[in-house]
Amino acid sequence: MRPTRFVGGRPPPVIGQTRKARFAGIDDNPAITFRPWDTSEPLMADYGWQRGQLPKFRARSPFHRQQVARRMVTEMIRKDYCIVGGARAPALRILADHVVDLSKAGDTDSRQQLAYFLHDPLMVDKAFDEYPRRFRDMHGKYAMMTRLKTRRRTDGVAMYFVEYKNRDMSDNHKGEDYTTGPERFFLPPRIVETEKGIQRPPHMQMAFDRWASKFKTEEFHHWWRLRHAKMRFWGVRNVPHPSDVDPLWTEKEEEEWHNEMLANTGDFEDLDLEDDSFSAAGEGGEPLAEGAAHKPQQSA
């Protein structure tokens, strides 16, 4: 055996990893000129620790960091809130403000830029339909970040609740209660008692119902049992056997849920999806009178 060096002398000058990370010197967004004071392009953010940059949260690569940002912003628009950990929270709050800036601009270029950024094109329409009227009287700081008192159990990261303000002006999210989640993740959020009979815009309700319906199928239950078998094979602890896994949704629960929905909306007539008299506030702000048309935007 070779005698070990540094037995009685100084320790080596570098302890631990001496090689730099693979993406240490790569700019996250090389198309942007490095001017920290220039914030002219929304959503084209550079990540770093200097003045004009978004917090550089941990990711596998710059591409993965951008994918995480897109996923967070898409879920933020879909649910009106997002629970994220660590340095992702301030980045998400700033990017959510950029989304509102684009939707309040309202032009075709802004809509296309948001469509390039998001994962879901329906969320682009939702943002441009809802946010101009919702944030009409606000000029910034549209999103709010609240630190939760409990940390993530796995790695001890501080968790934050990021949400949009002024929810009372929202057609899609007015009256939603986020203090406790729904009984199943694919059920709509709980509604406060004062808004029990509220109705959502029909096209958004249809989109949510279609998304939720895939978790109630036999195919998903088969995939869910296979996932349990794989997790047991991978060595994940406390995973029940696939034969003990119950379906997430049954016909009886569907019937009870449907009856409860009918009881909550008993004062309203049945929603006719073929009826086109429903008018949501569009990009202009206020809903139009019957038969009126939008005026073309005047270019300055």
Residues 252, 91: Cα–Cα separation, whole Å:
43
CA-closest candidate to residue 28, choices 45, 13, 42 = 45
At 254 the pLDDT is 86
Residues 148, 146: Cα–Cα separation, whole Å:
6
In percent, how much of the chain has pLDDT > 70? 75
Separation in Å, CA 118 to CA 70, 72, 74, 113, 245: 6, 9, 6, 9, 35
At 225 the pLDDT is 96
At 193 the pLDDT is 84
At 3 the pLDDT is 55
Question: Is the whole-model pTM more than 0.95?
Answer: no
> Are 104 and 44 a contacting pair, CB within 8 Å?
no
At 240 the pLDDT is 96
Residues 240, 243: Cα–Cα separation, whole Å:
8
At 261 the pLDDT is 76
Low-confidence ranges of the chain (pLDDT < 70): 1-40, 265-273, 278-300
At 10 the pLDDT is 60
How big is the chain by its Cα radius of gyration, in Å?
A: 25
Domain architecture of the chain: domains with CATH: 34-174 (3.90.1030.10), 180-264 (no CATH)
